[in-house]
Amino acid sequence: MSERILTGIKPTGQLTLGNYIGVLRNLAKMSERGECIFFIADLHALTLPIEPETLRQNSIDLASFYLAAGLDPNKVTLFLQSSVSEHAELNAILQNYLYFGELSRMTQFKDKSSKMNESAIGLGLFAYPVLMASDIVLYDTDIVPVGEDQIQHVEITRDLVNRFNNRYGKVLKMPKYEVRKVGARIMSLSDPTVKMSKSDPKGDIFLKDDMKTVRKKIMSAVTDTGSEVKYDPENKPGISNLLTIYAAMSDKSIEEAEKDFVGKRYGEFKTAVADVVIKELEPFQQRYQEIVNNKSYEKVLKDGANKAKAIAKETLKRVHDAVGLLNI
């Protein structure tokens, strides 16, 4: 049987070049390799305050961006998390198998909650890994492609699977994460020590930026002292980030990318980075716009939800049986 590959993105904000390099641009290739389940993590988007209209708009955008990434809707399953109620149902069961201590140690929770007033931190933000584990095991997932920031959440899912299966027998499938070699963590262009993030936009390139803006943002990206274009994330975080973007967007290794700029100046280097980004982003954006205009995402999402539900129902039934819930 072919591998089942699952990935989700939250409709929390405008998609960034980080999301594109970390996930979106690899999806078409992935769909040739195995059975792909891609979803819009709209329930997860509620874990931080968001306006209803923004959430709606972001969800449509995200669906369109997924499709613009070159997915064949007949081959992949694309749907909204909230359309398949089994995610929430499984979450209600699995929340009893992850514990307070380990959830408190999650980097994402610490990062996001540290910026908030304690009285405004919702339970959903804390329990995020439980819902994510539910998303993953619901489809007997083999592979979860992620950026570096999400490794910890797949690892806690693996702990949960072990714990659950030790107690009840082999009920849940053990997932594995997969991280890209190049571009698993694209950093902000204005502060290359922080991750480019859509819900906390600082120096982000947005997938909806016009090409003039994209070029301008890259040309004015923070660089480092010295003049050599060299990969050295510790001492040259700005240049290393731009090299990573260049390498990822031109399907080169970091070493190959470095060779392209031996003896070149920062300005010349930045122009080349902007060129490779724009070359790919421009047609991608046009495809996105067409999909938004003709609303082709609607049928895809509906069909996707039905396909997903058929799988999810079976898993949930298995879990009910295992823990002693009557399937009546």
Cβ neighbour number for residue 170 with a 10 Å cutoff:
11
* Closest CB to ligand ATP among residues 195, 215: 195
Minimum Å gap between C-beta 106 and ligand ATP is 13
Concerning whether 195 is annotated as a catalytic residue, the answer is yes
Concerning whether 299 is annotated as a catalytic residue, the answer is no
139 close to 311: Cβ distance less than 8 angstroms: yes
Cα gap 262→310, rounded to integer Å:
54
* Closest CB to ligand ATP among residues 129, 147: 147
Cα gap 161→173, rounded to integer Å:
7
Cα gap 127→314, rounded to integer Å:
24
Q: Which of 158, 185, 208, 230 binds ligand ATP (CB under 6 A)?
A: 185
End-to-end CA distance of the chain: 31
Site size with ligand ATP, rule: CB under 6 A = 22
224 close to 275: Cβ distance less than 8 angstroms: no
* Residue 192 is a binding residue for ligand ATP (CB under 6 A): no
Site for ligand ATP in 197-216 (CB under 6 A): 197-200
Listed ranges 9-17, 90-98, 264-272, 277-285: which one lies at the site for ligand ATP (CB under 6 A)? 9-17
* Residue 153 is a binding residue for ligand ATP (CB under 6 A): no
Return the ∠ at Cα 195 (arms to 130 and 135), rounded to 5°. 20
171 close to 318: Cβ distance less than 8 angstroms: yes
Q: Which of 196, 273, 277, 291 binds ligand ATP (CB under 6 A)?
A: 196
Catalytic positions, please? 112, 195, 198
Q: Which residues bind ligand ATP (CB under 6 A)?
A: 9-10, 12, 16, 18-19, 21-23, 146-147, 149-150, 184-186, 195-200
